[in-house]
Amino acid sequence: MSADHDARRPDHAARRAALRNLLVENGVDALLVTDLINIRYLTGFTGSNAALLVDSWDGAEDRTVICTDGRYATQVGEQVPDLRAEIARASARRTIEIAGEWQTGRVGFESHVVTVDQHHAFVEQGTGLQLVPTRGLVEQLRMVKDDYEVEQLRAACAAADSALASLLERGGLRPGRTERQVARELEWLMFEHGAAAISFETIVAAGANSAVPHHRPTDAVLAAGDFVKFDFGAVVGGYHSDMTRTLVLGEPADWQREVYELVRTSQRAGREALKPGTGCGEVDCAARTVIEDAGHGELFVHGLGHGVGLQIHEAPGIAKTGTGTLLEGMAVTVEPGVYFPGRGGVRIEDTLVVREGRPELLTLTTKDLTVVD
């Protein structure tokens, strides 16, 4: 980010410049970007139809063009004033046509996004071009968050933290209510506390349902003695928060205290392992070993975490099979869980930013066992 750039606004030009370096490294003369999230990251455009052609020449903003259809003619001018805009319904085909007019040569396309039929159409349209599959180039840039992105994530996490606090303060979590009632109230409270959207359908899982990792709220009635697991998030500025907390209604049983303390210890170990240069698989191992050593390894049935940003699940993946290493500025979750089928389960999840020394914690709700009387 340039020294004179306003950190309150995303520096899309700097992101495109970083992408050009990757294009040179990967031996392509331009990249056709058709993933709408990637287009938003590179330009700020939020419409539902767009394609972006980014030339690899250094400083080639005049050879970078965004195309969308007539519905967004005004919007693209407002959101992307620094790039040439083309208006055409078949946005990707038009950008391929422009690449051909410019005799671009090797044009990369997002092979993890483009369908077989779309590729056939590009080949027919792009006479004289060599279409080259590329995978995850923009996503590679998106893994490391800049100051603007971290601020949006921080605000999204604050909205979720405040919503849960408000729910508890107003007595919204109590025996006799249903999972669905609690979930809808929590979602509304996130909007009241500044969310523009919710990150995903809120999970409220009570009693035996708390043992289902991704349970969807039902009309199940909350009862005294239940674990109640919340997994939820808010969206601010397009960026998603993600947090899980497990509470108990009334005095917890000994087994509930034990499993909660086990998961909290595991989660702490995972957080402490978040350091630049650490392998993603190593982070998972740090948390998972705690649970395995307690004899419950088979009850931790998912990966430890994932990247988070413009999408709720982004690279990197933090799991047994996770590849790559953590970098300064990555935003990730740490969310171990232990689930006893038919009985109940615990998951504790934070959103954090990888930093030198210790990670920056964005979700601030206490991880002490919360007992709701």
- Burial class of residue 268, CB neighbours in 10 A (0-12, 13-18, 19+): middle
86's tokens: 């083309």
187's tokens: 């979602």
Give the pLDDT score at 2. Answer: 45
Question: What is the Rg, in whole angstroms, of the alpha carbon atoms belonging to the chain?
Answer: 23
Give the pLDDT score at 185. Answer: 98
The residue with tokens 């920056």 is 360
Please tell me the distance from the alpha carbon of residue 322 to that of residue 307, in angstroms, as a whole number. 12
Start-to-end Cα distance in the chain: 49
Which of 127, 92, 108 is closest to 55 using CA atoms?
108
Crossing angle of the two packed helices 147-169 and 179-192, in degrees rounded to 10: 130
Per-residue pLDDT of the chain (373 residues; tens, 9 = 90+): 444 455 678 999 999 999 999 999 999 999 999 999 999 999 999 999 999 999 998 777 888 999 999 999 999 999 999 999 999 999 999 999 999 998 888 999 999 999 998 888 888 776 678 999 999 999 999 999 999 999 999 999 999 999 999 999 999 999 999 999 999 999 999 999 999 999 999 999 999 999 999 999 999 999 999 999 999 999 999 999 999 999 999 999 999 999 999 999 999 999 999 999 999 999 999 999 999 999 999 999 999 999 999 999 999 999 999 899 999 999 999 999 999 999 999 999 999 999 999 999 999 999 999 999 9
